[in-house]
Amino acid sequence: MTTLGGHITGTADAGTVHMGIGQRLWDDGVFVPEGDNTPQPVFVNALLARLGLLDAPRDKQESGIATWLQSNQPSKTLIISLERQGFGDLLH
């Protein structure tokens, strides 16, 4: 696997794999003792993953985030992430 112009290039059975820096692997897995509450997500992608909307159309993502915001208080970090990803209007 090599890096080429900001992309990771590797060889797979079906050919060459190109992965942009925005598609890098991340782990938002949180391990907590049984009975404890899972902490709220602090980035939009983590929230969308938790809602099962990571690959959903934008309108479904907006609807899911809006519904989540009705019963959850976002952290300052999540607010910044929402604004940077174009979901800031959902905060008001």
CA angle 47, 49, 54 (to 5 degrees): 105
Average pLDDT over residues 52-74: 97
More confident residue, 80 or 15: 80
Alpha-carbon gap, residue 68 to 27, rounded angstroms: 21
pTM given for the model: 0.63
Alpha-carbon gap, residue 13 to 58, rounded angstroms: 32
Report DSSP letters for 40-72, one per residue.
Answer: PPSSHHHHHHHHT-TTS-HHHHHHHHHHHHHH-
Taking only the tens place, the pLDDT of each residue in 35-50 is 777 788 999 999 999 9
